[in-house]
Structures are given as structure tokens and as C-alpha cells.
Amino acid sequence: MIVFPRSTKPERIKSNMEIFDFTLTDEEMDAIRRLDRGAGSHNPDRPGVREMLLSAFDVHADER
């Protein structure tokens, strides 16, 4: 999923843009890596995925 934040208020737009104003420590990155159990993956190129997503969401996409 991709989330597109939306706002018309300048202060909220600015705060939406400040999502990378932090850093993670090596320990935090290791903790995140340990969450991976190898139990899933998403292949956006798998046959049928594009059609499934286009039918499930209100999106505007060019036909290829």
C-alpha cells in the first residue's frame, strides 16, 4: 500500500513532509530485522495483481 497524505492546511502539509527527521540506532535496526520470519512476500509483477488492485481501489492508471 502507498499512502498519500492530503491536507489543505500549510502547517499540516509541512508536518507531512517531515517524515524523515529521525534516525534509527543499529540496535533498533537489528530489532526490526528480527521481526522478519520469512513468512511472506509480495510480488507486484505476479500475473493478476495489477487487475486485482485496479478493481479493489479507486485509482486512475494508464492502460498498458
Grid cell, residue 60, equals 486512475
Rounded to whole angstroms, the Cα distance separating 62 from 54 reads 11
3-state SS, the chain, equals: CCCCCCCCCHHHHHHHHCCCCCCCCHHHHHHHHHCCCCCCCCCCCCCCHHHHHHHHCCCCCCCC
Lowest-pLDDT range of 24-28, 33-37, 55-59: 55-59
Average pLDDT over residues 3-27: 84
Compute the mean pLDDT over every residue in the chain, rounded to the nearest whole number.
82
CB 53 within 8 A of CB 42: no
